[in-house]
Every structure is written in C-alpha cells, then in structure tokens.
Chain A
Amino acid sequence: MLGLRYIQCFLLLLCSIIVNVHAKSAIGSRTLIVFDDRVDDLSNYSNFFNLLKDHEFDITTLELSDKSTKINLFEKDTRLYDNLILFPVKGKLYSKQLAAKKLIHFNEDGGNILALTIPKVSSDPIHLYLNQLGIYPSPRTQSLKDLFQDSNNNNLQFTAKESIENKIIYSNENAEDSIYNFGDSVSAALLDNREQIIPLLKASRTSFTSGNKTREINWTDGTQGYLIAGFQNLVNARSLWLGSVQFLSNEHFKQNLDLINDLIQWNFQEKNIIKVTNVNHYHTESNLSYDELPYKVTDNITYTISLSQWDGSKWIPFITDDLQFELRQVDPYYRITMKPQGVSPIDPQAELYSTGDFKLPNRHGMFTFLTNYQRSGLSFIHQSDVKAIRHLANDEYPRSFEIPNAWVYLASIATVIISFIAFVLFFIATPASVSEGVTTAKKTN
C-alpha cells in the first residue's frame, strides 16, 4: 500500500517533469528577484511566481527594504544568476548596490534582465540602465492615460490586434482579439531606433502620458509610446522592460497569461534561440576545402551553414526562407538567399542551408564569407570567415597550343627555326664566292 503510494508519487513527479520539460531555458535557470516591500507586496504576484516555478526556474528573492541587504550579482568574476527580475525599488541607498553599470555588466556577461517600472516610484538605476539601452520610460511624474477607454476603474487595456508589434515573440497568433490589462499605473517609454531594440507592445492611438502639472510636456503621445520593449545585445543576452507591475499581478494574471508566458519564454531564453552548428565552404566539383586547395578567381564554390533552434527542451532544425549569404570585400559582391536542404547529415538537430554552386568573382583579394542573420526577436547570427582568393598562376592561363588562333604563330615560329637550320647548313655548304671585290670596291668608306 505504502509502496503504491510511493509509485504514485513518483509517477506524479515524473508527469510534472514531463509536462514542464518543454519550458526550459537554453542557458540556465538561476533567477534572482529583487523587490521592495515598501512599494508593493510580493504576495500579489504569487501566480506569476508559480508560473516561473512551472518553468523550472530556481528562484532566489531579495527584499530591499532592509537596509543591510547586500546584492551580489557576481562572485569574483563568475556570474551568480542567469536571470534577474527587477521590481521597482525605492531609495538612493540601492543606487550603489544596483548601479546601472553593474546591471550593464551583468547583461554584457550574458545575464537576462526583466525590468519593471511604474510611474509612482523612480528607480534610478533601472532607469539609467534602460536609458543606456535606448529605452526611455516616462519619469515619475508622468503616467499613461487614455481618456477614450472605459474610465470607471482607470485600468488601461490593449488589444493584441492593435498593439502587438512583434510576431516572432508573440506566439498566440489566433488570439488577435485578446485584450491585455495593464492596471491603472502605467509608464510608457520612448524608444530610439537602435536595431537591438524590439518594440513589443505599443500604446493606443488615443493614449498619452502626462503629469499633474499643466506646463509639463507630454512624454509620449499616441503610438509614440511603448509599454513593453525587448532588447537583445550583441552577445544575445536579453532584456525586457514592462511599463506596468500590475500587468503581472494576480488580479490580471489570467487575462494576460498567454502574453506573460511568451515574454518570460523569450526573455529567459526558452524560445527563439538559434545557433550555428556548422559552417563550411568548398570547391563544388571536388569537394575540397580551402585548406586542401586554396580558392582562385572564378572557381565554383558552395557555401553551407547549419542552424539549430531551441524548442524548450532540445535542439531542433531551424527552418526559414530568408537566410542570406554574402561574399564581401568591403562591399558585397554576392548576396545569395540560401535554400533549406533538409536535416544536416552531420548533425540531426540542425537544418542544412546551401547557396548552391556559385562562381567566385574575377577579382583577387581577401573576401569575407559572411552570414549575417539578424531578425529582431531571434538570436543574432554573425558568422564570418575571411579567405584569400588568389589570381591565376602563370601556368593556369590557356597555353598557346590550346588556342586555335595561336597555331598560325606557332607554325610560323617553327618554319623560321627550321629554315634557319636549313640556312645554316646551306650556308656552310656554299663555297665563298670569288668575286666579292666587285661590289665593295664601289663603296667609299
């Protein structure tokens, strides 16, 4: 009886693992949540934390109202956490511990950050950090309003159809009618046009941010403002900014669940992760690589690249139709869209792409074989390989006897030489003439 219980328990555990197994980060699950009790009670977000737990995140929480708390993102040079969730915090004291530079360092080292701001609290480090990324949330005095919306509870709501910007991260395509609730305290942000910024949800056309004072300029007007923005840096670490805390609260959790789930998965690198598993280029005819036989002008070359994508539990082939190869020497000489060739023969988890056969330009020099695939939402792929393409060697031009035109000249040279030999022979055979003086005598020298 007891044994059965155990088995039952075990099965249950197994089931839960299996259920949750699809939701796992590609890099790691150590997560630190920083919050401030004075701003909000963490129990309001229990559903959100349960969701994180479902995703198998290993959560540490740190409460900042106690002044003695120390925040260590790094132990010596090793990063202690993979993900960092920053609820709004108050007070100057923490500016030092949670300084923007530390956050940047954490992010540049590969850690993901989820940052939340609200109009009520000005969290300087978070603001400064976001400003460095090119995200400028509205300041403490201003909050987002929309006078056209149902104003009985002051909650701001946005429909997916109008506001969702990025279709790669947002997976629930069918639910275009879903409405997301951001609560009544929302900050909107201006974004600069850096390519790493991924605008995710924009404010409605009728919204604006304004403060209490009348003379203040509106921070955003209409769709200028954004409520959610992602940022992926060059080492593919992801940051996400949310302009509302209530968006995650238990109150609106159910309404926002599908979007929250997408955001968490993207932010903490559970999805939209692609990587290059193998790059190769070789002579098309002989399959010889560059090292075996260096390239020369007008050679026929094939370039292949294999891409995998993380599906939450394992690497699977990544399929797309807009992957481009470039052959550059400062300027691009070729830009070829590569075609998926099916699963890579070497690596079953990757999809093989090939340019097919192409001819190197008739120009020698150092060329870069480049795949630069940067789609906002997906990991950036930048794969480059610089190789020399040499000129034709002196014996690689067609020989004269291979060119019909040259036969004429060859023949004439042969004639000249043969007749020269004949001439020499005859010359020696001919006796010197007797009467030479006749002609020379006339000349006066």
Chain B
Amino acid sequence: MSEIAEKIVVPDTAVTANENDTTTQKDGNCVSWIQSSLKTLIFIAIIIASISSRLFAVIRFESIIHEFDPWFNYRATQYLVNNSFKDFLNWFDERTWYPLGRVTGGTLYPGLMTTSAFIWHALRKIGLPVDIRNICVLFAPAFSAITAYVTYKLTCELKDEKAGLLAAAFIGIVPGYISRSVAGSYDNEAIAITLLMATFMFWIKGLKQGSILNSSFAALCYFYMVSAWGGYVFITNLIPFHVFCLILMGRYTSKIYVAYNTWFVIGTIASMQIPFVGFLPIKSNDHMAALGVFCLLQIVALGDFIKAKISEKKFKVIMWVSIILIMIGGIAGLFLLTYLGLIAPWTGRFYSLWDTNYARIHIPIIASVSEHQPITWPAFFLDTHFLIWLFPAAVFLMFMDLKNEHVFIIVYSVLCSYFAGVMVRLMLTLTPVICIAGAVALSKLFDIYLDFSPIFSTKKTGTTKSSVMTVLTRALVSASFIYYLYLFVHHCTWVTQSAYSSPSVVLPSQNRDGSMAIIDDYREAYYWLRMNTDYDAKIASWWDYGYQIGGMADRTTLVDNNTWNNTHIAIVGKAMASPEEVSYELLKEHDVDYVLVIFGGVLGFGGDDINKFLWMIRIAEGIWPEEVKERDFFVNQGEFRVDSQASQTMKKSLMYKMSYHGFPDLFPNGQGQDRVRQQVVTAADVEDLDYFDEVFSSENWLVRIYKLKDLDIEGRDLSDFAEFEKSKNTKRSSNKRPEIDLRV
C-alpha cells in the first residue's frame, strides 16, 4: 500500500519539477525535446497514479463489483456479451419488477455496456480473452486515466500546458472523482465524467476557433454522453447558458454562432437515437433552454447583420421593439405548449434541485435515496482537500482575464456549486471544475513564485536586500504550496483507501485483537438463495437490494434500484409495514416466495431496513393513506422506537417481526441489545410469525430470509393453523358455540 502512496507522490513532484524546467528554459529551443519527453513521462506517472490509487478496493478486498447499480450494469453487460446487440436493445427483462417486467433495453443508458462489450470483443480479437467481470471491474480506473488526459487538453485551452498537467494530476487522484470510479465501481459515472470533459474540451476548442469540425466532435461526444448517463442534461443546459451569458455580455461573434449551432443541431438529432431519451429533447422542459438559445442565436445573427448596415440609434429602437415582441411571444408559446401537454412539465428531480424540501414533501422515493440528500460542508473538504479554497481564488483569477472560455468555467463553477450543495451526487460534476480551477490558480501562482530567474540576474550585479527578500518570499510561498501538494496527495491516498474503497457488498470490520475481518453476509445470503431456492422463486425485498439479488442470486425480484414505478415500490413498502396477515395476502397475490430483510442490530450496521423503514412507510402512505399511517409507528412522544415502548402498529408490522424474530433469544435473559438503535428488545416484544418461516439468517444476522408458508391444505387461516399446531393432543373439544360467520 505504501508503494502506491509513493507512486502517487511522483507526478506532483514531477509536475513541479517540470514547471521549473518550462519556466526557466523559456528561450531554449534545443531543449524542447526534453520538454516533450518529460511531459510523456509525467503523463505515464499520472496514469499509473490514477489507476493504482483506484486499485485499493481490489487489493484490500477482491476483484468484485461494488454497491448496487454496478450490479445491474454488470448483469446488463453480461447479457450484451452473451447475446447480440439487437437482443440487448430489445431486452425485456422478466426477472425484475415482477410481474410487470422491465423493458430494460429501452430504459437504460447503453453507453457503458456497449463500451465494455466493445473492449471485450476487441481484446478477444487480438488474442486476449479476458473475463468480462475483470473488464467491468477495471473499467473505471482505465477511464479515469483518459479523463486525466482530456482534462489536460481542456485546461490547456484555458491557460497553458503547465496548468494542464496540474489539472490532470489533480483529477487523477482527487477523492471526489475517485469516490465514483474505484475499481469495481462499474457505474455510468465512470465513463460519463470522461465524456463530460471531452465534450467541454471540444466545445471550448470549437468556440475559440469557430470550427465546425470541433463542434461536430463536441456533438458526437455529447451523443456518447447521452448514451451513457442521465446527467447529460447538465451539458444540455450548461452550454446554452454559457452562450446566453456571452450574448448578454455583448460578446456575440460569428464563431459562437457557428460553434453553438453545429453542436446543437447534430447533438440534438443524435441524442434522439437513444431509445430511452427518445423525443425528450424536443418535448421536455429540461431541454427547452437549448432550443431557446438556438432560436435566440438566429435572431441575434440577423440583428448583427442588420446592425452592420444601419445607424446605431435606429438599430437600438428596432432592437428593443423586436426583443419585447419576441419575449412575449416566446413565453406565451412556452406556457401554451406546457398547458396543452405538448411539453412535459419539469420532472420531480428537477424541482428538488430548486427547493430542497420539495422532494421530502412530494416524492418520498427521491428523497429516500441518500445520494439525493444535500451535501455537508466537511464533505467538500473531504472530497477536494485544499482545492476547495483555491477554487474561489481561481474563479476570481478568471474574472481578471475574462475570455469566452473563462466565462464558461465561471458559469460551470457557479451552477455546479449550487447543485452540488443540493444533491450529494452532483459533487461528481463539480469535482472536475474544481480541479481545473485549482490547477489554473496554482499554476498562476507558480508562474510568479517559482520563477527564480531574478536570482541569477541579480547575482551578477550584486545582491541587494530587496532581491533577497523577493527570493525568500518566493521560496517560502512555493515551498508552502509544494507542501500543500504533498499534503493533498497524502490526504487523497488516505481518503481513497479508507472511505471510498469499500465495495459495500463485503463490509470491513475489526476483530477484538485489531486485525481486519471481512463481513461477507450479503454474499453468503445471496449464494444461499442461488443454491437453495427455485430458479423461478420471487424474492421481495426493499428496492435497494434488487440489483444485487438479480446480479448475485439470479432470482426474480419485485422492485429494484431502477425506481421507475413508485406504486410497485409502495406495494413492498405496504407489505413491510402491514400486519402479517395483510402482508401475506398482498405478497401471495404477487406470487412472492421469499422475503429478504437486512437487519443490523446484531452487528451494529446502521444501514439496515429498520432504519429505512420510515421511508417504506412514507412511500406506502403516499399510495394508501388510509391503510398505512406514519403516525401510528411513532410512540406518543413522537419517537421512533423499537423496544418495549414501541407502538403496537410497529410491533405488529412485518418488518419489525422479521427483523427481531428470535433476536432476544440470542442474549441471556432474552434482553436483546440492538446495537444500532441502542435499545433493548425483549422476548415479550416480538410476536410469533405465523405466516412466514425463517429459512436463513446469515452469520451475523445481517441478511434474514423468510419463506411464505403455503396455504393451509384444509383452508384454515395460518394463524389458526399455528394455534392448532401448538395445542396439546389431549385437548378436549369445547362445548361453547363457536363465534363464526355462519353460512347463509
């Protein structure tokens, strides 16, 4: 591990060394080849660093797919590799969302799978048959290397090569990006950030030169991006916004016209080729900004043409009149179209961007995802370290030297800072711009303070006090910033290995003697399912585990992480929140065979189902407000308890019973100590399960699997059946008239 840490140190010192070279040897032409070879060397070092720091996960654990979504991507890739591309596009997955099924081919972003399948085929062609799993695991590190290069190019456009190299080094190891691209984190973001940078790079190039070709490339990258990640909407809004700002600043030139129009037209028609996107680019409001700017540009171009011909005063009058007319017409048109339903109104996720409370009130399912929570302040520092305070400085520097491309970075940073504050997930898009900005600022700083040429010039004339001071301050500043760089590297390594390398499928833990142990309950349970249940068995669990059950256990699930159907998720929520007999009916109706719950009370694992239970209740309440009521699950003081004071509804609920079934018996005197909630659950609190059989509990009771009992052959209620089974053989028959619904 320390070896890798050392490797990471390499590029930064190399970069600073290179700056020494480049700055001191400005005039020397003969050493240009040294420069280029040094540059190559630095790049190799950066690539090695960025890849190897992402391999912590593989080294500390194993070569395994991480978390939740990657499991689906992995499964989809397997499907693509085993079937033709056409089959993949038309893939109807009957093993998820039972009984609805999912039109998977039409509801995913195929970019990631297609790319890795392409790599797989290419490697086979050249005689390197690699397991598709390994490609998937190593996909993200490989693309992070490409990201580093693209970022370099982008930063070169902004400032110069020095800043570019710094930016490349930063993006290579910055934790904010590593968090989503460690080995095994086979997610859309892994490729999307690369494409995001590539699109911006070509866009800036196209804008600077007014080149149709570069803009076309930007459009193609944009198309690739659309095929890979839903976050493409960010580009769709950022570029028009940039252009809009430029027009407002009176910086309109024909170059903008050329670059934007080419990008927009090709990008739009190309993005519509992705089945999941379809006609959205002309229907959804999220895309309207781009269309609006497109129209605006045409008008501005016309205006520009006319302006060249007539006097300025008259033009102003004409301009104002036309602007007002167009504005009125445009707004009215937008309202009319939205009103007529021709344009889809803004989506819920979009609203939640503006009003952080919107989701909590209206769409519990969006709010229930931890990624959609607002970010915390320490997270900024954790993810970007000292770049976060270089960042505002860099934005300020951009204002000093305000070119079109600088406007872009400013717009990007302002928008993204806000969005990242709203949603943790968007930290990922903010990170690259922080890296770029940080690199620009730092390289500007180094340009001045790392320039020791005055020493040599002053030495000849004789040292004066001022020159010593200059040298001293320069040395001091440079040294402190090099020290910061060193700290940054250290921090990145530490954060990466401690925070972001856990696959979350296996959990790290410490033994009593301090040695590391691995808790492998998830896989234990999933393999139990795979080995011991029918291939067609349907598993009900909260949606978080849907992809993993599909990927690892290969069993049919009711709901999964593709949360496209709120009602269906609410069904599972209702089943978990209802008393046994109601749940049983509901689950039986959906042909469920097994129910899986995650219970962390034994282990002290906080992300278990009881802690997610409130979201299940809320989502279910959204659909059946009469049957599931959040209030009933709280005790009178408004607390959410699980011990003997828990509300009756809580104790009767299936989730509670399943989580704590047999739990108190683990402890002496039946005083079960829940290590997550720090409450005592006694045997008296946990009622028997009549409708479900416990069939499996993993080693640390993290995963518990229950089987639905079959219907009683004699047609009794299963609770009556259980009562009868418990009764003694010598019981006398009762002489009391039974309380039954009589036949009519």
Contacts and interface: CB of A to CB of B under 8 A. Distances in A.
Interface of A: 92, 95-96, 99-101, 104, 107-108, 122, 124, 127-128, 131-134, 136, 139-141, 190-197, 199, 217, 219, 224, 231, 233-235, 329-330, 364-368, 386, 388, 390-391, 393-395, 442-444
B36 interface: no
15 contacts: A95-B730, A101-B724, A101-B729, A104-B714, A108-B713, A128-B731, A133-B715, A136-B737, A139-B734, A192-B743, A199-B743, A234-B713, A234-B714, A366-B100, A391-B90
Contact of A330 (B101, B105, B308, B589): B589
Contact of B103 (A196, A235, A391, A443): A391
A441 to B, nearest CB: 11
A390 B744 CA distance: 45
Contacts of A443: 308
Interface stretch (B65-73, B91-99, B508-516, B646-654): B91-99
A132 B94 contact: no
Name the residue in A107, A140, A391, A442 with the highest tally of chain B Cβ atoms < 10 Å from its Cβ. A391
B730 A219 contact: no
B743 A191 contact: yes
B729 A329 contact: no
Given A107-B714, A132-B714, A365-B100, A393 B735 contact: no
Contacts of A219: 737
A124 B732 contact: yes
A108 B725 CA distance: 14
B590 to A, nearest CB: 7
Interface in B145-177: none
B716 interface: yes
Grouping DSSP codes into helix (H, G, I), strand (E, B) and loop, the B interface class, with mixed when no group exceeds half, is loop
B736 to A, nearest CB: 8
Given A134-B740, A193-B742, A234-B714, 7 more contacts: A234-B713, A368-B591, A391-B92, A391-B103, A394-B89, A394-B90, A394-B105
B85 to A, nearest CB: 11
Contacts of A141: 735
A364 B714 contact: no
Contacts of B741: 192-193
Given A128-B733, A364-B103, A134 B715 contact: yes
A329 B735 contact: no
Nearest to B731: A128
B604 interface: no
Contacts of B730: 92, 95-96
Nearest to A140: B735
Interface string B172-211: 0000000000000000000000000000000000000000
Nearest to B98: A366
A278 B99 CA distance: 25
Contact of A390 (B92, B591, B713, B740): B92
B617 to A, nearest CB: 22
B496 to A, nearest CB: 41
Nearest to A391: B103
A192 B744 CA distance: 10
Nearest first, the 7 A-B pairs at minimum CB distance are A127-B733, A388-B94, A390-B92, A393-B90, A366-B99, A99-B729, A192-B740
Contacts of A395: 86
B398 to A, nearest CB: 25
Contacts, number: 124
A194 B725 CA distance: 20
A390 B98 CA distance: 13
B738 interface: yes
B306 to A, nearest CB: 12
Contacts of B743: 191-193, 197, 199
B711 interface: yes
B98 A233 contact: no
A124 B742 contact: no
Contact of A394 (B275, B711, B715): B275
Contact of A233 (B714, B732, B740): B714
Contacts of B714: 104, 107-108, 132-133, 196, 231, 233-234
Contacts of A366: 94, 98-101
Contacts of A386: 99, 536, 591
Interface in B101-115: 101, 103, 105-106
B724 A132 contact: yes
Contacts of A199: 743
A390 B95 CA distance: 12
A107 B712 CA distance: 12
Nearest to B740: A192
A234 B92 contact: no
Contacts of B92: 364, 388, 390-391
B226 to A, nearest CB: 17
A233 B713 contact: yes
Contacts of A139: 733-735
Contacts of A197: 743
Contacts of A394: 86, 89-90, 105, 275
A179 B740 CA distance: 31
A224 B731 contact: no
Contacts of A193: 741-744
Contacts of A131: 733-734, 738
Contacts of B275: 394
Interface string B701-714: 00000000001111
A190 B713 contact: no
Contacts of B716: 132, 134
